[in-house]
Each structure stands twice: as C-alpha cells, then as structure tokens.
Structure 1
Amino acid sequence: MPFETKATIATFGGKLLKLTHESTSTNTPMSVYVYLPAKAAHGSPADKSKVPVLIFLSGLTCTPDNCAEKGYFTAAASRAGLAVVYPDTSPRGANIEGEDAGWDFGTGAGFYVDAAREPWSRNYRMETYVTQELPKALAESEFGGALDFDRVGITGHSMGGHGALTLFMRHPGLYRSVSALSPICNPCNCPWGEKAFSGYLGDDREEWKKHDATELIKGWKGDFHTLIDVGTGDNFYKQGQLLPENLEKAAKEAGIKGLEIRYQPDYDHSYFFISTFAEDHVKHAAKYLLS
C-alpha cells in the first residue's frame, strides 16, 4: 500500500520522513519513520546512491517518535551513510477487548511475534509486518530507490532488542548485522515475556521457545557477531526482566563465538542510555553493511 507522508524534517544533513500506511499484515493503519542520510535524501533520483538500511525496533509503550527524537541514531547514521527505519511497536486501533488494559500487553506491546491466539491473531502479526510487508512496501515506495534492501541490519531496545535478536535468528540471511540495547533475552522466564507469550501464543511453552533468543541460540550454527549493551543501574535488569546472563551462558555452552555483552556501569533503561551508545551500534551495523 502507498505511504502517506505526514512530515518531512531536515536533520543531520538528511531527512526524516514520518509516514503512515494501511497494513495488510495487521489490518490497521501503521506508522513508520524513515531517516534518509544526505546522499540518499538530496538530488535527482539518477544522482542518488542506494544506502544500506538499519531497522530499529522500539520497546514497550514506544512509538516511532521516541527513538527518532531521543535516540540519536540519526546523528550516527548520517555520518555512516545509513538509512534508519523505525517501525511502530504494535497495531493501533484494532478495537480488541483488553487491548489497552495494560502497558505491557496489547497496544504498544506487540513483541514482534505473529499472534496465534484469538482474538489477537487477526491484527497482532508484527513478525510478518517487520520482516516481509514493511521492507517490500518501502522498496516499492517513491523513495525506495534510495534504500538497499540487500544490505539490512537490525537493532532494538528492550522488547525491541528481543525482536532484533529473535528475528535475526528466525530469518537467517535476511539481516547482515544484529545488535541490541537492554534486550529481553529470555522472555520464556521473565514476567513480561510470560504475559505476552501466553496471551499471543497460547500455553504451549515449546512454542514460546521459538521466539526466545536464549533458546534459539542453542541451535545456532556458526558465529554470532552481536553487540549487546545493558546498564547495571537498569531497574528492569535488576528485577530479572532482561536476563542477559542466560543468553551469555547458553551461547557459551553451545560454543557460539562472537557474542559481546557489555555491562555499562550505572546506566538505566532510558533514552539517556540509548543515546549514549547509539553510535556504537550504528558502527557495529556499518561494519557489516558497508563491507
């Protein structure tokens, strides 16, 4: 479906496009923001160079506004010459009973899975949306000629970090790079994940494992060159919602090399944390997208 441009904002030499479109995956309107660096944003189509794409998946309660305005990925992406795509975190306005009853399930909390349980399965299909529908729609858009979807990386924060890790492993070859900031690493064993997975996927915990980075890495083949940052002052880390140690242990036991988890002293779960390490994650992506 075609995109409607709600705003075009000049920033860091490029342009941030605030877009909406009708999604066939979620059967709702969806918002998505796209940052085009200078060499993709200006000049005639014939003069524009295709640029690699970094997808940023946001966390619980967030919209594309949050990271686009406060994450500083656009600053680093402008220097590296990468486009950044900010999808929304869930369908909105599906009018499902209970959709807005809590902040950690339903609206703003799609968990980047395709729901299998009614009534969520008709609309909450965020895995299909992020991995299939959205890239195809962007590639076919009027600015799609500037985006190189053969060179795509994925990153994210919190619930979005969970999404980045699991989508990378569930779709081998789709993404060239992956990283995460304070990701939910073992959702099968934390309150957020248990609530979301039981609601969207049902009661079969074996199905849950198919969307859990700690479980998926046990069957991963080859190296896993991934950068993860977690703040030691993060209350959600302290409460056992993130569980990066479980992912680290599973990777070590499976003999997986390349996983780097950095525990950053005193940093919390906020965009102060994200903006501090955004450039590191853009550089990590650029290493694989620009080579």
Structure 2
Amino acid sequence: MKTLSENRCFGGTQGVYAHASDATGTEMTFGLFLPPDPTGAVLWYLSGLTCTHENAMTKAGLQVWAAEAGLTVVFPDTSPRGDAVADDDNYDMGQGAGFYVDADEAPWAPHFRMERYITNDLPETVFAAFDLDDTRQAITGHSMGGHGALTLALKHPGQYRSVSAFAPICNPSASDWGTPQLTAYTGDPAAHDATHLLAGGATLPPCLIDTGTADQFYDKLGTAAFAGAVAEHRAEAQIRLQKGYDHSYFFVSTFVPDHVAFHADHLA
C-alpha cells in the first residue's frame, strides 16, 4: 500500500492510498478517514456513477460526524481504471460505473470484479494496514453506490451490521440505470437487484434509506418496489422521502449526520 496524501481533518487524518488489487488486477485508489479516537468500527461509503474515491470524501461531509462517533470511513473508487481496462463512451457504463458486481462477460470480466474488491480485497488491505475491528463493519452509499450497499449487504449476510443508502438504485432490473449495465457485465440483472434479492429471501440488516421527493432521477430508483418488498418480508428498515431534496451532494450532506448516528448505534 502506498500513501498518496494525508491531511489533518477534524482532529483525525484524511488519507488517500493506493494498492495493487488481486480482484481487479489493477492499482486501485481509496480514501480513508481515521478519526482522532477510533473505536475500530468501519463504515464503507460507496459512491455513484462517474465518481472516484474523491467525490464523497470532499463533498459528503462525513468526517465531522465520523470524528465525533469514532468511526473510520473508507471511500473506495467506483471501478478499476487504466488504459488496459475496458471502457465505454456512455457515462453509466465502464470506468466510473462498476455497479459493484463481478463481471463475467466480455470485455468486462478481466478487471471489473468490484463485488470481490469491496467485500474481500480492499478489506484485507485496510485491516492489515490499520488497527481496526473487522467484526464491526457497516456500509452506505449514494445512487449506484446505494445499490451497491444494499446488494452487498443482502448477498454477504453477517459482514455488515447495518446498511444505509442515499437515493439508491434499488430495483435496477426495472431501470435503465441497471438493466443495460448489469446485462452487459453479468447477463442477469435480477441477480444483482436489491428488490429481487429481498423478495427471494435474502436477509437485510438494519437499514436506513433517504430519497428526495424532488430527485430528478426518481423514476430510475425503484424506491416503491423496494418498499413493497420490505413491507412484505417485514424487514427492519426505515425508508424516508425527504420533501424537496434532489439527487445532489447537498442532499447527501444534509442527512449524513442521521446515517452516521444510525451506523454508530449498530456498531457500538
């Protein structure tokens, strides 16, 4: 692991690091905020389409609340990158749009192994480099990253004590933010759809979702479908529609304090 930068931040350290990933076969960059008095608990933050590790690290405002709660926050990248990595001209496909799945279709399969990267490869690197507790993990994300947070929590029971999401794509197999991409990567969008996973019997850890009523992409998110699956299966979840909020980081930063407090309670 290489240190690219470290900055003092709310009494802790906001670092940016790079490492060679076995999962993607590329060098990957991630941000990590270490609070001044870490409890050992870790919150993974998965970003949305077109983002890198940097967007949420600089715009979401997690650090002040994480410092207060003693939570370490990790900001992974959204896909493998590099000249040898497959890409697409569309913003919602290829580099910057990994959808947190392991691709098994050409030309994506050699490097787009983001599920294994987030759940296995990056945690191995982080827990080897920092004195943190791998039994106390939680996960959150925004938009495509909200999709990632929900599906990874559903597919890896016991790994995360809690999950939350900001405007998540939670029914991608019924959306053009999901169906084309997941078909291209895996051939099976429903296998990576939080609504289908929950309806199929997967266990959802304690969950908090916020979505804005003025979200310009509301029709792509599938909030109602996921809420129906939550109700049918009596999952422990709060789904809140926030009046007047859109899809931006202004929305995310407004409700970050609630999400950090939610995870801190479950990671205590």
Q: TM-score, normalised by structure 1?
A: 0.89
**Residue aligned with 1:149, SS:** coil
How far apart, in 1, do the equivalents of 2:164 and 2:124 lie?
A: 23
Aligned-pair distance for 1:64?
1.2
Please state whether the residue corresponding to 1:241 is helix, strand or coil. helix
Does 2:41 correspond to 1:63? no
Q: Which residue of 2 aligns with 1:13?
A: 11
Alpha-carbon separation, structure 2, partners of 1:214 and 1:136? 29
- Per-residue CA distance 1:38-81 (angstroms, 9 max, x = gap): 024xxxxxxxxx52000000000011111111101111100101
Q: Alpha-carbon deviation of 1:267? A: 0.5
Which residue number in structure 2 is paired with residue 74 of structure 1?
63
**Alignment match, 1:159:** 144
Equivalent position SS for 1:132: helix
Deviation at 1:259, TM superposition (A): 1.5
Q: Where in structure 1 do 4 or more consecutive aligned residues deviate above 6 Å?
A: none
Provide Cα deviations, 1:135-192, integer angstroms capped at 9, x if missing partner. Answer: 0111112xx12x1111000000000000000000100001111000000010000001
What's the C-alpha RMSD, in Å, of the aligned pairs?
1.3
Letter in 1 for 2:124: K
Which residue of structure 2 aligns with residue 91 of structure 1? 80
Stretches of structure 2 that go unaligned for 5 or more consecutive residues are none
Aligned counterparts of 2:186 and 2:88: Cα–Cα separation in 1 = 18
Q: Which of 218, 235, 252 is the equivalent residue of 1:274?
A: 252
Letter in 2 for 1:135: P
Aligned counterparts of 1:89 and 1:112: Cα–Cα separation in 2: 7
State the secondary structure of the residue aligned to 1:128. Answer: helix
How far apart are the structure 2 equivalents of 1:242 and 1:168? 18
Q: Which residue of 1 is the match for residue 30 of structure 2?
A: 32
Distance 1:277 1:75 in 2: 13
Q: Contact 1:28–1:94 at 8 Å: present in 2 too?
A: no
Match of 1:194 among 179, 190, 214: 179
3-state SS of 2:195 partner: helix
SS at match of 1:77: helix
Residue number in structure 2 paired with 1:44: none
Amino acid at match of 2:229: A
2:231 corresponding residue in structure 1: 252
CA deviation string 1:104-163 (max 9, x = no partner) = 00010000000010111110000000000000111112xx12x11110000000000000
Q: Deviation at 1:221?
A: 5.9
Shift of 1:279: 0.7
Correspondence for 1:125 among 113, 126, 130:
113
Residues 137-286 of structure 1 aligned to structure 2 (within 5 Å) = 137-141=125-129, 144-145=130-131, 147-202=132-187, 207-220=188-201, 224-237=205-218, 240-254=219-233, 256-286=234-264
Distance 2:63 2:16 in 1: 14
Tell me the alpha carbon deviations over residues 172-218 of structure 1, each in whole angstroms, 9 at most, x when there is no partner. Answer: 0011110000000100000010111111012xxxx322211000111
Contact kept in structure 2, 1:7 and 1:18, CA below 8 Å: yes
Q: Could you tell me whether the CA contact under 8 Å between 2:5 and 2:16 is conserved in 1?
A: yes
Task: Give the superposition deviation at 1:223.
Answer: 6.5
| Distance in 2 of aligned mates of 1:115 and 1:7 | 31
Q: Which amino acid aligns with 2:213?
A: T
- Secondary structure of 1:210's aligned partner: helix
1:113 paired residue number: 101
1:51 matches 2:51: no
Equivalenced residue count is 268
Identity over aligned pairs, percent: 47
Residue 170 of structure 1 aligns to which amino acid in structure 2?
Answer: K
How far, CA to CA, are the matches of 1:223 and 1:127 in structure 2? 17
Larger radius of gyration: 1
Query: C-alpha distance in 1, partners of 2:155/2:227?
Result: 18
The TM-score, its normalising length taken from structure 2, stands at 0.97
Partner Cα separation in structure 1 for residue 204 and residue 45 of structure 2: 22
SS in 2 for 1:160: helix
1:236 CA drift (Å): 0.4
SS at match of 2:192: coil
**Cα displacement (A) at 1:253:** 2.1
Relative to 1, partners in 2 of residues 1:94 and 1:189: Cα closer, same or farther, differing over 3 Å? farther
